[in-house]
Structure 1
Amino acid sequence: MPRFIVVILLMAISCCPAGEPAKDFSVPGFVKPAANEHPRLFFRAADLAKLKERAATPEGKRIIARLRYQLDGGSGTTLPAKRNPLPAGDDPGELLSEPVGSVFTLFHSAGYGMLWRLTGDKAAAELASEAAMLVISGQSDRDARFGLKAPAGGEYSGAAVAALALAYDLCHDAWDDATRQRVVDAIESTAKSGNPSFLAAVLWQLAVAGDAIGGKPIRTNDPLSRLSGELARLPPFGFSGRDVDVHDAMRDVLLPLVVHASRVAGGIDLVAGQPRLGQLVDRLIYLAVPGPSGLQLALPYDYLPMYGQHLDRTGLAGGGEFVQAMAMSTPVQRSALRFIYEHFCVPRLGRDHPNSGVRDGEHDYDTVGPYPHRAMLALTCWPFDEPARDPATVLPPIVTAEDANRGIPICIFRGGWNGPDDIVVTIMGGVGLQGRELAEPRKPGLLCRIWACGKRYVMVGTSNGFDRPVGLVYGLKQVAERRWLVSFSKNWGASTSHPPPARLIVDLGGRDGRDAVIITEAVNIIGDLPDADRVTRFDLGGQWRCSSSLTVSVNQEGSAFHVAADNPWGNGKPVVGRIVGDQVSLIRTGNGVARGLVAPHGHVITWEDGAVWRRTSSPLEAPMRLTSEPGQRTLVRQTNNKPRNTLMCILTCSADGRHEEFTCVGGDFPVVAVGERSFSFSPDPNAPSPAPQAEGGTKPSAGSGTKADQPKAAATKLP
């Protein structure tokens, strides 16, 4: 039975409930590549004429110019003289912040292979061969963690396998048998000893299936039978860290390439077969928010702005999110991604990436980083011949991941895609968190977040004065246009529940311009944290808090810094560190090297082992509070559902800073009125609602931010 038929059957078994007919995820009209038919991974030989037509358009010309710039910082006719002197290993080296095109990368061979296919210039194929031989000989990437001989294996050696697979595919007809055989031998040797990512093995299998060199078939193992099982392990929306190949895959080096190549070379639509691949794209669409430090994700964890939220967009792992998402998207998703990129990223590319060679307002099609294969993806996948569409006009304002046995682990609400003032509510419960990007300590109660008008809030469940996790969503019901009732209990709210279940109302406002309102019961809204501006130079000097009770003192001189001896990081001895770009490392006595990343605003360092340092003098470290000043765009007020003795919070979002009065009638299903709008916690939209009344007889003044009988919100600081 052909291998890809096996994969389709396995996907069908994993996706279809018992008794339902198996679905066919094959690409309509697909013709299997013939032996030694190339190119086949990103595009087929029959597609080359159309691809050249795309390259001749104004957009295509800019992409090709960008490809050449990535190759050598100019016309793309030489290999960069600067190479990473470090062998592939744990240390990324000191070249990450060098200008685009000035340093050799693993994917230079693929970039020159693309130029050979588009121009027919044999010199480009020769440069591709020279670049491939450098990778085979052990040359590391500009990020020296990646290379064919990387001891960590996985995506670190898999990236080199993928680069060689692309180069082999593109230059097959230009290279002689000896060159092709060297590539095959190098990858076979790596597969035996280097333990590369199974995704890299899939890409290599697609590249050489059925091929022969000198009449001798290329021997390959068949990793495709694992593909369905691995993709079925994807967590909802990729919320689970990055220590597994397919988690957080928009930052993954390999998965988007495999998805695209499986469609083109294998005739399998993996996205249709595994819906959670589409959720990875939705994650980028629904959570991308522009801010002073650049584009970031409104993640439901890391209560302060952390590095993992700020999209680097230039690294091999951690870059090219949009162009890679284009390779995995439906037409509707592509149109939404294009809108987001053009409105949120393009206007400030030069400011956010000064070493990229791209200016503010200059469309780069997400090729701002140094890796040439992303220009290849842009030319083949970027929808510049399709209109960009505001996501609010083509996508619903809410996406969820549902589990029939465990409620709804993920809910994401979004009021629009207009800019930094967008409103995003993200609720995550019951998802096993792992990986290096989570703040310590990992408090499940902090996995609910509100981003509103440039401010961040978290939602924490309350019970008898103590914080507790909010938990899974068990009830989700749309009760009006752009309004939802959410319950964290299977019981919608009967007073027999002990403690009373947490609930909230999310109202994203009408299309007539009404302001958004979020009302919670037994859930405390705390926060009011703005973002900090991006800095052009990191200075780590000063005091840093690395736990609730421990601080370290840092002195920096140039790229070196020193941590005082009275700290546990060095076992009581001074610790020497180094900063290169946004990469930091500490040489710890007896504990090896610790590595971390500095957030773009310079106030937070996230270490690879999960530890987090926060600058004590940072405005981000101010005590979390409720906004009480008049004129603010967002305002949180509190009251009490007296019959149930539960805290209620009312967050209003106002374009002009004017906030309407609110009143509340308590009970099992309380009713809150904000101005002329009434909000009921009853899951039955037809249930009669009592007219809300002020509880204490004294009404608050409009925009005052206070209520006569409400308790004063104490400043709250999370660990």
Structure 2
Amino acid sequence: MRQVQSLFVGVAAVIALAASAFAAQPKTVDDRFSGSAWPADVPGFVPVQGGEHPRLLFRKTDLEKLRQRMNTPEGQAIIKRLRVQLNGSDGMSMPKIGAPAKAAGDEEGGEAGIYSFSHVAGFGLLYQLTGDRRYADLGRQCMEKAFEGVPNFDTRYGFKNPNGALRAGPSLGWTAVGYDLCYDGWDEDYRVKVARAIAEYNPGKWMSLPELVRGDRQHPGSNHWGMIVGGGALAVLAIMNDPGVDMAKIGPLLKASEQSIKVQLTQGWGSGGFYVEGDGTGSMSSHIALLTAIQAWRVAGGKDFYTPRPYAQWMNMKWFFLTALGGNPANFRASFPERGEYPHNIWARTGLSGGGYFGIGFGVATPEQQAAMLWFYNHSGLREADAKGGFGLDAPSPYPHHSVLAYVNWPVGMAEKNPGEVLPHAVMDDKAGFYAWRNRWQDAGDVIISILTRSVRGNYGCKAENTLTIQHAGKKTKWGTITGGFKSDFAPAKDGSTVMITGDGSCLAIDFSRASGADALLVMTGPGAPGSGSIDAGGTRFSILALGGKAGQPRAEGGKVIIGGQTILWDGKRIVLGVFGSKPAQ
């Protein structure tokens, strides 16, 4: 189910920088890493046979272990929520049909128990876990509703009449997951009927199966594209080699899907998880269908797009790196340094575009990353909020597939691990010129620093910033002036401490060693240094910001500034910290 490598690709590698801005990204692979095949072959992979199901999220060999989860508190909580999502109560009857009343401006709003594009998948999981064919029959009835043209409760989505390719991709993809999970509970004629409907899918211009798989509509810099090619990937993997499927047509689409995913990861995203349109649009691109397609490629296709490269890893892990602790779990957007368009999607857990960050992400993460994500879920207030709301685990949205993924992917029985022991404390995204630092994962006193130094653009874009954004103690503040980005190599210490030269010759030092007594110490010299909090030493003016802890009073002594056990000096080229990365500087 999770045949993954423990490798976590470092982001401190020296990488060539991308062009500063572009609109329609080319549909060519822009992989800047070498030394290993990508996607990698999954070790020990056994090829899927025609008519073999389930295959997308897990294989038959995983089923007994998944059934055992029904006896755990986690499994029981998730299944209880799934049943409510299916019919509003016990999951043993058909959902209501029709769109619920929505608040003004709320396009995604829905209610648990109303028909959606992932109801077939929800009933399919119950069939797999219980062996009770009533659930496969309910899945079949929902599939018939899809064929009849019944829309999702968000009526922009639907198998038969989706509103454009961006809605067709997820509508088809999650229907295909339902086919996969219900397959063994349907008769042969119905299996063939559904397989052919997926293979011949074409509800309108730009929305045929080949067009979705290739991503003919839009480009990797559009938030639509991950939804389009991700849904197409789920569809072709679901039906490959099955009875009724013409592999002369589907075979080439499998190769096209591999190419599309590589293009999406390397053109729309960079090595540090920054999407060219920003965070809210990136959440749509990554989490509605793409990350689950990457999981399905590993499980059903034997190809690992995740661990050999940093692109998808940081697409997944950025949310847990950049989100501050201590905030309101119902409004984690306020705890995140939002950039770009559609910021309402950030941590929008009650909907499709920002829901399921854990249930989806666990399905692709390495074991160590899973342990770090589990720590974040347990210590962020989200576990308590979900329990109080009756949302199972990470499933406050009405969509059944969020509970399906949580059930299959949750690392039940795994010991949590503080993210500071797993993730680097400093991250650089090569394509966007995005930099971020975090001193720890502990509480609201954590210090998170970030800046986008280069303008990037897809259909929407993000403008370059000239000041640092600092999240600390429940506040977001700005500090320093960064002109022309950073010109020196990105070479952080293990604790994230970094010294870098900016485009105008200023120098920024970020010190997480705590030698000064502060939890984080920022020091800057040159024209970009703030006027406040400055002290002169050896003819150089140092601007200093201490965050958290109990920093000593800065004092000049000879050519140095001394703060607690930390010394700061200018060597004529850059700032030198006496203690760098928790060790004395050499």
TM-score (norm 1): 0.64
The answer to whether the Cα contact below 8 Å between 1:301 and 1:449 also exists between their aligned partners in 2 is: no
1:661 correspondence with 2:553:
yes
Query: What is the aligned partner in structure 2 of residue 162 from structure 1?
Result: 173
The answer to whether the Cα contact below 8 Å between 1:172 and 1:180 also exists between their aligned partners in 2 is: yes
Query: What is the aligned partner in structure 2 of residue 81 from structure 1?
Result: 96
Q: Deviation digits for residues 331-367 of structure 1, max 9, x if unmatched?
A: 11110000001111335526xxxxxxx406x783212
The answer to whether the Cα contact below 8 Å between 1:479 and 1:683 also exists between their aligned partners in 2 is: no
Q: 1:359 aligns with which of 388, 409, 431?
A: 388
**1:637 positional shift:** 2.2
Query: Taking structure 1 as reference, are residues 84 and 217 closer, same or farther at Cα in structure 2, changes over 3 Å only?
Result: same
Q: 1:296 aligns with which of 333, 336, 339?
A: 333
Q: Deviation digits for residues 19-48 of structure 1, max 9, x if unmatched?
A: x57577111111111111111111112221
**1:518 positional shift:** 1.0
Query: What is the aligned partner in structure 1 of residue 297 from structure 2?
Result: 262
1:346 correspondence with 2:382:
yes
Query: Taking structure 1 as reference, are residues 524 and 132 closer, same or farther at Cα in structure 2, changes over 3 Å only?
Result: farther
Query: What is the aligned partner in structure 1 of residue 257 from structure 2?
Result: 224
Query: What is the aligned partner in structure 1 of residue 223 from structure 2?
Result: none
Query: What is the aligned partner in structure 1 of residue 20 from structure 2?
Result: none
Greater share of helix: 2
Report the secondary structure of 2:509's partner residue. Answer: strand
**1:150 positional shift:** 5.2
Alignment of 1:626-641 (within 5 A): 637-638=533-534
**1:677 positional shift:** 2.7
The 2-side partners of 1:502 and 1:302 are apart by 25
Partner AA of 1:339 in structure 2: W
Partner AA of 1:445 in structure 2: N
Q: 1:52 aligns with which of 67, 74, 77?
A: 67
The 2-side partners of 1:182 and 1:480 are apart by 56
**1:155 positional shift:** 3.1
Partner AA of 1:432 in structure 2: V
Alignment of 1:118-133 (within 5 A): 118-133=129-144
The answer to whether the Cα contact below 8 Å between 1:451 and 1:457 also exists between their aligned partners in 2 is: yes
Query: Taking structure 1 as reference, are residues 523 and 175 closer, same or farther at Cα in structure 2, changes over 3 Å only?
Result: farther
The answer to whether the Cα contact below 8 Å between 2:107 and 2:154 also exists between their aligned partners in 1 is: yes
- Higher mean C-alpha displacement, 221-230 vs 429-438: 429-438
**1:216 positional shift:** 7.2
The answer to whether the Cα contact below 8 Å between 1:664 and 1:671 also exists between their aligned partners in 2 is: yes
Query: What is the aligned partner in structure 1 of residue 15 from structure 2?
Result: none
Query: Taking structure 1 as reference, are residues 85 and 345 closer, same or farther at Cα in structure 2, changes over 3 Å only?
Result: closer
Q: 1:449 aligns with which of 469, 476, 490?
A: 469
Greater share of strand: 1
Query: What is the aligned partner in structure 1 of residue 84 from structure 2?
Result: 69
The answer to whether the Cα contact below 8 Å between 1:298 and 1:309 also exists between their aligned partners in 2 is: no
Query: Taking structure 1 as reference, are residues 410 and 437 closer, same or farther at Cα in structure 2, changes over 3 Å only?
Result: closer
The answer to whether the Cα contact below 8 Å between 1:93 and 1:143 also exists between their aligned partners in 2 is: no
Work out which of the two has the higher radius of gyration on C-alpha atoms and give 1 or 2: 1
Q: 2:510 aligns with which of 491, 506, 513?
A: 506
Query: What is the aligned partner in structure 2 of residue 105 from structure 1?
Result: 116
Query: Taking structure 1 as reference, are residues 512 and 653 closer, same or farther at Cα in structure 2, changes over 3 Å only?
Result: closer
Partner AA of 2:548 in structure 1: S
Q: Deviation digits for residues 501-520 of structure 1, max 9, x if unmatched?
A: 13211112439974321122
**1:275 positional shift:** 2.3
Partner AA of 1:346 in structure 2: L
The 1-side partners of 2:488 and 2:395 are apart by 42
Query: What is the aligned partner in structure 1 of residue 412 from structure 2?
Result: 384
Query: Taking structure 1 as reference, are residues 523 and 388 closer, same or farther at Cα in structure 2, changes over 3 Å only?
Result: farther
1:144 correspondence with 2:155:
yes
The answer to whether the Cα contact below 8 Å between 1:84 and 1:139 also exists between their aligned partners in 2 is: no
Query: What is the aligned partner in structure 2 of residue 474 from structure 1?
Result: 488
Partner AA of 1:139 in structure 2: V
Gaps of 5+ in 1: 1-10, 351-357, 462-467, 490-499, 527-625, 627-635, 690-719
**1:266 positional shift:** 0.5
The 2-side partners of 1:244 and 1:524 are apart by 27
The answer to whether the Cα contact below 8 Å between 2:297 and 2:304 also exists between their aligned partners in 1 is: yes
Q: 2:445 aligns with which of 411, 421, 424?
A: 421
The 2-side partners of 1:94 and 1:346 are apart by 23
Partner AA of 2:422 in structure 1: V
The answer to whether the Cα contact below 8 Å between 2:274 and 2:315 also exists between their aligned partners in 1 is: no
1:680 correspondence with 2:569:
yes
The 2-side partners of 1:671 and 1:309 are apart by 47
The answer to whether the Cα contact below 8 Å between 2:229 and 2:290 also exists between their aligned partners in 1 is: no
Partner AA of 1:105 in structure 2: S
The 1-side partners of 2:275 and 2:243 are apart by 41
1:183 correspondence with 2:194:
yes
The runs of 4+ residues in structure 1 deviating greater than 6 Å are 91-95, 215-218, 243-246, 683-689
Query: Taking structure 1 as reference, are residues 663 and 140 closer, same or farther at Cα in structure 2, changes over 3 Å only?
Result: farther
Report the secondary structure of 2:82's partner residue. Answer: helix
The 2-side partners of 1:369 and 1:306 are apart by 18
The answer to whether the Cα contact below 8 Å between 1:250 and 1:281 also exists between their aligned partners in 2 is: no
The 2-side partners of 1:36 and 1:388 are apart by 38
The 2-side partners of 1:112 and 1:325 are apart by 22
Partner AA of 1:202 in structure 2: A
Alignment of 1:563-582 (within 5 A): none
1:278 correspondence with 2:284:
no
1:518 correspondence with 2:522:
yes
Higher RCO (Cα < 8 Å, 6 or more apart): 2
Query: What is the aligned partner in structure 1 of residue 273 from structure 2?
Result: 238
**1:659 positional shift:** 5.6
**1:671 positional shift:** 4.3
1:370 correspondence with 2:382:
no
Identity of aligned residues (%): 25
The answer to whether the Cα contact below 8 Å between 1:159 and 1:253 also exists between their aligned partners in 2 is: yes
Query: Taking structure 1 as reference, are residues 300 and 307 closer, same or farther at Cα in structure 2, changes over 3 Å only?
Result: closer
**1:247 positional shift:** 4.3
The answer to whether the Cα contact below 8 Å between 2:36 and 2:308 also exists between their aligned partners in 1 is: no
Q: Deviation digits for residues 245-265 of structure 1, max 9, x if unmatched?
A: 994467531111111111110
Report the secondary structure of 2:301's partner residue. Answer: coil
Partner AA of 1:179 in structure 2: Y
Query: What is the aligned partner in structure 2 of residue 543 from structure 1?
Result: none
The 1-side partners of 2:202 and 2:278 are apart by 21
Q: 1:311 aligns with which of 338, 343, 347?
A: 347
Alignment of 1:21-60 (within 5 A): 22=37, 25-60=40-75
The 2-side partners of 1:436 and 1:64 are apart by 39
Query: Taking structure 1 as reference, are residues 480 and 79 closer, same or farther at Cα in structure 2, changes over 3 Å only?
Result: closer
Report the secondary structure of 2:47's partner residue. Answer: coil
Report the secondary structure of 1:104's partner residue. Answer: coil
**1:470 positional shift:** 4.7
1:412 correspondence with 2:436:
yes
**1:402 positional shift:** 4.5
Query: Taking structure 1 as reference, are residues 516 and 57 closer, same or farther at Cα in structure 2, changes over 3 Å only?
Result: same
Query: What is the aligned partner in structure 2 of residue 576 from structure 1?
Result: none
Q: Deviation digits for residues 651-705 of structure 1, max 9, x if unmatched?
A: 11134xx664224589xxx84333453223549999899xxxxxxxxxxxxxxxx
Query: Taking structure 1 as reference, are residues 335 and 663 closer, same or farther at Cα in structure 2, changes over 3 Å only?
Result: same
The aligned length equals 525
